[in-house]
Amino acid sequence: MSIPSPASDRSVVERTLSVLGAFDTGNVRLTVSEISRRSGIPVATAYRIVAKLLSWGALERAEHNRYTIGLRLWEIALLAPRHSDLRSAAVPHMFELRAMTRSAVLLSVRDGNEGICLESVSGTARPLHRSWSRGHRFPLHATACGRVLLAAADDLTWEEIHTLGLGPHTPRTVTDPAVLRALVEQGRRQGFAVCDGELLDGVVEVAAPLYDADGTAVGAVGLVTDRDRTAHDRDRTAHVHDLARPLLTAAGRISRSLALRTRTEGQHHSSTDNQRSRT
């Protein structure tokens, strides 16, 4: 029996990942031809890989000869500790925060030079921008959650963002790297970041960091609300601080809950290892 070489094995893995990578929040249902075009692999190869993924449950068949991500892949993704632990710790407090502020509440983490919305709870204002919906990615420089995540980012992330450029989303978007760094540092000092109409005109976002048991920033929780266009700047500033107070309280509670979960799991694993050792 022949054994595939490492090079060919990597090729199979890369092609399979390319098929899965063809799906995103704007393309959740694709035909094989669309998967082939978006992944850059031949149609025949894409068809074979899709058939394998379909039989395993990573893809599911939809109507009109289209395919979607399957439940089995979703179940595996939920096992990611960064997602499951953080979400479990945050969701109860997110609903409380929504009830207090009547604003949309977001839970986000950083993935490279972008942010990802892990969870969202809708508020009473206008519908969320799609970047603030679960599973969507958003720019770090033009959002309050993104600036909170940037405060804990390494130099390589900053370099990548500068290389890609700080693209404008509205006329209010900050596109100057020096100004962005100053705003990120300001947010670090005061404990929360603010973006006013930088991703979506007329929308204000306020966000605060979330910490694990080691004091490492692992995510951000944010509030999204409409900006009162008729209010004076002083009134809008007061409104932001009114939002920041319950936000910071909720962020502290989420961080404590996350730290408790981490310590409890660590003690459980330690106890299990000791029992195995004695056995």
Q: How much is the pLDDT for 126?
A: 59
Question: Is pLDDT at 1 greater than 50 in this prediction?
Answer: no
DSSP SS3 for 92: helix
Question: Is pLDDT at 97 greater than 60 in this prediction?
Answer: yes
* 118's tokens: 């892990």
Question: Is pLDDT at 239 greater than 60 in this prediction?
Answer: yes
Q: How much is the pLDDT for 269?
A: 47
Average per-residue pLDDT in the chain?
Answer: 85
Residues 6+ apart with CB under 8 A from 108: 115, 116, 117, 118, 138, 145, 146, 149, 207, 219, 220, 221, 222
Q: How much is the pLDDT for 275?
A: 53
Q: How much is the pLDDT for 181?
A: 94
* 129's tokens: 């921008």
Question: Is pLDDT at 254 greater than 90 in this prediction?
Answer: yes
Q: How many CB atoms lie within 10 A of CB 121?
A: 19
Q: How many CB atoms lie within 10 A of CB 114?
A: 18
Distance, first Cα to last Cα, the chain: 40
Among the residue ranges 13-17, 56-60, 166-170, 223-227, the one predicted with the least confidence is 223-227
